[in-house]
Amino acid sequence: MAGVFYYIKRIKKMNFNGMFKSIKAVSLKTKKPKLFIFFDMVWCGFRYGAGYKDYELIGFYKLNHKQRDSMITRGRNDKIVKKLNKKSYWHLFNNKNEFNLFFSKFIPRNWVFIDVEKVKSSKEIYKNEEFVKFKRFIGGQSAFFAKPNSGQCGKGILKIDTISLDSFLKEHNIDIDPGYKLPEDGEIKYTAEMLKKDAGDLYNNRAKALFKYLMDNELYLLEQPIIQHSKMNELNPSSVNTCRLVSIMNDKDEVTILASFVRIGNGTNVVDNFNSGGMTAKVDVKTGKILEEAVNKEGTIFEKHPLTGTTIKGFEIPFFEEAKNMVIEAAKMSKNVRYVGWDVAITENGPTLVEGNQYPGHDIYQVAEKLDDKSMGVWPEFKKALS
């Protein structure tokens, strides 16, 4: 009965416009009638817990029953999350400040969180300890990332170069008081002391303008950039190419690394996320070697990276064993959230956590363009880890 209510709930929330777009896309690809695809899509929803995007992206339209039943679908993923991850503890992963504090052992980079409530409660936005903390942080960084305190998929993240801060302020139409005034007669008669004061005022006004912009755009978490391993730069140097390691901890507190994928930036973005234009490829959990060509969300296959020309299949991730050990240790610290997608960066000194996802996306496990008539999904591995 619970299963019936689940599907009724899903139907009520369904985006029917999105569903019919998927039906049209599949029909164009397969030449099958839309009505047939509609009924098959509905059947797959009830039988395998597959959403309409699963049907399109995983390629249910070309799979037989055995293959379909081996896939991790939205419905199955949701049930695992509901079973293993207590919602009252999701904040530990949703709130990036809390995440960094709790898992600080695995986050050696510098970072600072601006408490917006303290800023709001102060009489002036620039006369409080949070602004002082902000100035101290940016003064020690040549560049930094500004992030929303919640959110996933790399959305809303900005990379700010403090050395060329004027370019950033200009690009975002941020006006600042230059901090100096020309004499009325137009003649500049500055002493060295006056010039030093004006330079200080100009820096302070830049900092004020940037601080206000970050507060207005709810970018409260500031982090030192991760300098990735030179080997990972060979894949793509324009973004940190992270590894997603998916862990499950059973009721015996045994942790299994179920799957791993490398996410590679496309050369045009500062993030590598699959849902933000990046590409992904499956990694062998035992060896750390990439098992296949990369694919992006549009289904384009990449044998080599379009920017670097590096061959993707067979590429070996450095410090992969250390990354697995770190994830297992971190997973054991989170007994109330037992199914996690961990994003790990690889530096010259080893792995470091970027973030954890208490609601891991399932769309990168199986992608239609990678599946043939012999391909099987990862659902049996999930069931084994849960037992």
pLDDT at 118: 92
Query: pLDDT higher for 76 or 195?
Result: 76
Extract the tokens encoding 122. Answer: 């102060």
pLDDT digits (tens, 9 = 90+) for 307-329: 899 999 999 999 999 999 999 99
Q: How confident is the model at residue 384 (pLDDT cuts 50, 70, 90)?
A: confident
pLDDT tops 50 at residue 235: yes
Residue 246, beta-bridge partner list: 259, 341
What is residue 92's predicted lDDT score, i.e. its pLDDT? 95
Q: What is the pTM assigned to this prediction?
A: 0.84
**pLDDT (tens digit, 9 = 90+) per residue, 30-67?**
999 999 999 999 999 999 999 999 999 889 999 999 99
Q: For residues 180 and 183, what is the distance between their CA atoms, to the nearest angstrom?
A: 10
Find residue 316's DSSP bridge partners.
289
More confident residue, 197 or 286: 286
The number of beta carbons lying within 10 Å of the beta carbon of residue 67 is: 20
Model confidence pLDDT, tens digit, residues 339-383: 999 999 999 999 999 999 999 988 777 776 677 778 888 899 888
Residue 272 confidence class, pLDDT cut points 50, 70, 90: very low
Residues in CB range of 179: below 8 A, 6 or more apart = 198, 199, 200, 201, 202, 203, 204, 205
So what's the pLDDT on residue 169?
86
Q: What is the mean pLDDT of residues 109-129?
A: 89
User: Band of the pLDDT at 110, cuts 50, 70, 90?
Assistant: very high
Percent of the chain with pLDDT over 90: 60
Instruction: Compare 259 and 200 and report the one with higher pLDDT.
Output: 259
Task: Domains for the chain: give ranges and CATH numbers.
Answer: 2-84 (no CATH), 87-106+227-358 (3.30.470.20), 111-223 (no CATH)
Contact 259, 378 (CB under 8 A): yes
Write down the pLDDT at residue 30.
93
Percentage, residues of the chain above pLDDT 70: 85
Least confident of 1-10, 83-92, 375-384: 1-10
Average pLDDT over residues 86-110: 95
- Contact, 134 vs 222, CB < 8 A? yes
Structure-token pair, residue 173:
């139409």
> What pLDDT, on the 0 to 100 scale, is given for residue 203?
75
**Averaged pLDDT score across all residues of the chain:** 86
pLDDT in tens, 162-193: 888 888 888 888 877 655 454 555 444 444 45
Least confident of 39-48, 119-128, 287-296, 317-326: 119-128
Q: How far apart are CA 363 and CA 196, in angstroms?
A: 56
CB 278 within 8 A of CB 239: yes
Over residues 91-118, mean pLDDT: 95
Characterize 251-285 residue by residue with b for buried, 16 or more Cβ atoms within 10 angstroms of its Cβ, and e for exposed.
eeeebbbbbbbbbbbbeebebbbbbbbbbbbbbeb
Q: How far apart are CA 200 and CA 191, in angstroms?
A: 14
Identify the burial level of 250 via C-beta atoms within 10 angstroms of its C-beta, where 0-12 means exposed, 13-18 middle and 19 or more buried. middle
Distance (Å, rounded) from C-alpha 52 to C-alpha 39? 11
CA 332 to each of CA 248, 249, 259, 286: distance values in angstroms, whole numbers, following the listed order: 10, 8, 17, 20
Q: How far is CA 348 from CA 122, 170, 232, 237, in A?
A: 42, 35, 10, 14
Q: How many CA atoms lie within 13 A of 315 on its CB side?
A: 28
pLDDT of residue 267: 63
Which of 197-201, 217-221, 350-354 has the least mean pLDDT? 197-201
Within 8 A by CB and 6+ apart from 98, the residues are 91, 92
**pLDDT tops 90 at residue 229:** yes
Q: What is the pLDDT of residue 385?
A: 86
| Mean pLDDT to the nearest integer, 120-133 | 87
